[in-house]
Amino acid sequence: MVVVLSVTTVVLVYLHRLNPQERRLLAEAPAAARSAGCRPVRTISPYPGGLDRAHIGTGGPVPTLPDLATYPSDPPASGPHSSVPADAGEYADPPSIAEAIHSLEHGAAIIWLSPDALSNAEVARIETFFRRRHEQNHVIVSPFDYPDQGSAGRLPAGTEMTLVAWHRLQLCDRPSLAAAFSFVERFRFNLWRRGSYRGEAPERYSPI
């Protein structure tokens, strides 16, 4: 059977329009990012030794997860990771960091939050917004807290929110929904808004 899609259908599939709240958040984002003390988005170098996309596993070049301190950024924006990605969604407890890195390879954006900021009202807004089914697409919201990794298992001092995608990172002194959505809109791969994607995740069409 041959299915014929009209031009209108194709446009709707690939150019999903922003809703009014999304448009408002993007308009607010520059001022909100300044108010939240967000630094510019940085491009992060690949993990050294040709291991940027290496899977962790017995018998391979990376048998166990390297110390997080060896990754080019804190939190990691690429590097050795699990063969299984973490699911999209909101986490009360941090997911496996090895799985979270794999999710980045699949085009996810992660909103990492300091445990000290979880009672902040803006964090509640972030969690509520990204709990919606459409907004949850390729997005992880989670505390960043890996005590066994020393200082590399916490967000940098003075940072309450860090936004991460594959080879991209933005540090913010304080949580901001508008700043988070602006980053997500550019750096998570959303099949329905492919034209907005500004990232370089190598497996961006893969699900999480």
What pLDDT digit, counting tens, does each position of 106-158 carry? 999 999 999 999 999 999 999 999 999 889 999 999 999 999 999 999 999 99
What average pLDDT does range 171-195 have in this prediction?
96
Q: Give the pLDDT score at 11.
A: 37
Q: Give the pLDDT score at 60.
A: 79
- DSSP 8-state class, residue 42: E
pTM of the predicted model, to two decimals?
0.92
Give one DSSP letter per residue of 70-137, joined into a string: GSSSSS-SSSSB-SSPPPSEE-SSPPPHHHHHHHHHTT-EEEEE-GGGTT-HHHHHHHHHHTSTTTTT
Chain segment 66-100, per-residue pLDDT in tens: 999 999 999 999 999 999 999 999 999 999 999 99
> Cα–Cα distance between 72 and 79 in angstroms, integer?
9
- Closest listed residue to residue 33, CA positions, set 130, 141, 175: 175
Chain segment 30-73, per-residue pLDDT in tens: 999 999 999 999 999 999 999 999 999 988 789 999 999 999 99
